[in-house]
């Protein structure tokens, strides 16, 4: 990460060291001096805001995150999430530019990290749930929302006639392309892609994707609109025991079981399957989740 100014880069590196050593106040001073040299540098503004938050200077941090957003209105570093956590107001969903950047950077080590470190199992859990609800036959048209590098597609391929997928992050989609299992892959937002589907599908899946969306209203209505009658929507979410949905410090949303039950009714689905499931770990501990299969009614 470079500001384009050598002196500013040196100051920035020094600030990161101070921050790493736990002296957030001193790091914030050095970052403020850095920004005197490169006032428009978005990454520098973001680092200052994060450091102020670490120093416990909540209101200065809020102002600094807002200042960052004027330099990067698309919010590729996720200031909206930080602001939501600081002000305790859950955003409806994550900034698209932030997710794209996060997963583009993650793509080269995604599968190794997920499968080996996080014990990721969402695709096999969803495949088993789909097999339970509809044991036989092929789905003529299946669509994979937030397909990533194609792990869900692999789990589904033998039960799908035509298989499409969409993901926000181009580098993740390239990973999916390399597997040669999708008939069509798109880069973009899943809600827009689902609404633009030429023909309706009889199966849609979202494995570990709705954790990046708080309010599920738009995605549920879009899926319902483009599913055939009796078509299935299989997905996982992270679970929390309160009401509605909450944003966690690890920048993932959790949804309550009642929220999932209510959204099924609102979007005209019946619930064919809804079970507690652990599809990954978070910091070495099983993350509580839900696996669901909704049927369009
Ligand atoms: C944890 S990965 C899971 C990938 C894949 N489903 C799997 O099981 O391996 C989450 C993926 O969702 C994608 N994503 C998140 N929000 C999205 C959105 N609104 N539209 C499309 N893709 C999205 C991310 O880019 C990322 O690739």
Residue 103 domain-assigned (yes or no): no
**Is the CB–ligand 1 distance for residue 193 below 6 Å?**
no
Together in a domain, 24 and 122: no
- Hey, whose CA ends up nearest to atom 14 of ligand 1? 146
Q: How confident is the model at residue 93 (pLDDT cuts 50, 70, 90)?
A: confident
Residue 95 domain-assigned (yes or no): no
Residue 96 domain-assigned (yes or no): no
- Hey, whose CA ends up nearest to atom 4 of ligand 1? 148
Q: How confident is the model at residue 90 (pLDDT cuts 50, 70, 90)?
A: low
Together in a domain, 74 and 33: yes
Nearest ligand 1 atom to alpha carbon 94: 16
Task: Assign residue 79 the CATH number of its domain.
Answer: 1.25.40.10
Task: Assign residue 177 the CATH number of its domain.
Answer: 3.40.50.150
- Hey, whose CA ends up nearest to atom 12 of ligand 1? 146
Residue 89 has pLDDT above 90, yes or no: no
Cα→Cα distances 28→17, 23, 37, 44, 58, Å: 11, 9, 15, 11, 13
Together in a domain, 141 and 203: yes
Together in a domain, 82 and 190: no
| pLDDT tens digits, 195-214 | 999 899 999 999 999 999 99
**Is the CB–ligand 1 distance for residue 107 below 6 Å?**
no
Antiparallel, parallel or unpaired: β 139-145 and 201-206: parallel
| pLDDT tens digits, 211-265 | 999 999 999 999 999 999 999 999 999 999 989 998 887 889 999 999 999 999 9
pLDDT, position 187: 96
**Domain finish residue from 47, 62, 89:** 89
Give the distance (Å) from ligand 1 centre to CA of residue 144.
Answer: 9
Cα 140–Cα 141–Cα 147 angle in degrees, nearest 5: 140
Together in a domain, 149 and 44: no
Together in a domain, 223 and 272: yes
- Hey, whose CA ends up nearest to atom 10 of ligand 1? 209
Q: How far is CA 40 from the centre of its chain?
A: 28
Together in a domain, 117 and 32: no
Average pLDDT value for the chain: 93
Together in a domain, 147 and 33: no
Structural domain boundaries enclosing 226? 108-296
- Hey, whose CA ends up nearest to atom 9 of ligand 1? 151
Q: Which of 122, 150, 212, 289 to mutate to test the pocket of ligand 1 (most atoms within 8 A of CB)?
A: 212
Residue 100 domain-assigned (yes or no): no
* Confidence (pTM): 0.82
Number of folded domains in the chain?
2
């Amino acid at each position: 990460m470079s500001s384009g100014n050598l002196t500013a880069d040196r100051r920035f590196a020094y600030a990161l060291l101070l921050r790493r050593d736990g002296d957030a106040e001193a790091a914030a001073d050095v970052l403020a001096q850095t920004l005197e040299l490169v006032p428009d540098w978005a990454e520098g503004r973001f680092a200052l805001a994060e450091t102020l938050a670490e120093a416990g200077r909540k209101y200065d941090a809020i102002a600094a995150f807002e200042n960052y957003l004027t330099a990067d209105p698309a919010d590729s570093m996720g200031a909206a999430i930080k602001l939501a956590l600081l002000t305790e107001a859950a955003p409806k969903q994550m900034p698209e530019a932030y997710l794209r950047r996060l997963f583009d950077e993650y793509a080269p080590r995604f599968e190794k990290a997920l499968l080996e470190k996080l014990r990721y199992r969402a695709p096999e859990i969803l495949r088993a749930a789909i097999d339970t609800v509809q044991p036989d036959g092929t789905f003529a048209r299946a669509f994979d929302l937030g397909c990533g590098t194609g792990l869900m597609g692999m789990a589904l391929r033998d039960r799908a006639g035509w298989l499409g997928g969409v993901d926000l992050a181009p580098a993740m989609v390239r990973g999916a392309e390399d597997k040669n299992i999708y008939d069509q892959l798109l880069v973009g937002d899943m809600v827009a892609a689902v609404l633009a589907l030429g023909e309706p599908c009889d199966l849609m899946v979202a494995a570990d994707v709705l954790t990046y969306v708080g309010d599920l209203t738009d995605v549920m209505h879009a899926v319902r609109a483009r599913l055939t009658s009796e078509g299935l929507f299989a997905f996982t979410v992270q679970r929390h025991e309160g009401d509605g949905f909450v944003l966690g410090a690890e920048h993932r949303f959790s949804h309550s079981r009642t929220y999932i039950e209510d959204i099924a009714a609102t979007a005209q689905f019946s619930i064919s399957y809804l079970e507690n499931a652990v599809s990954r770990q978070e910091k070495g501990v099983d993350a509580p989740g839900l696996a669901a299969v909704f049927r369009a009614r």
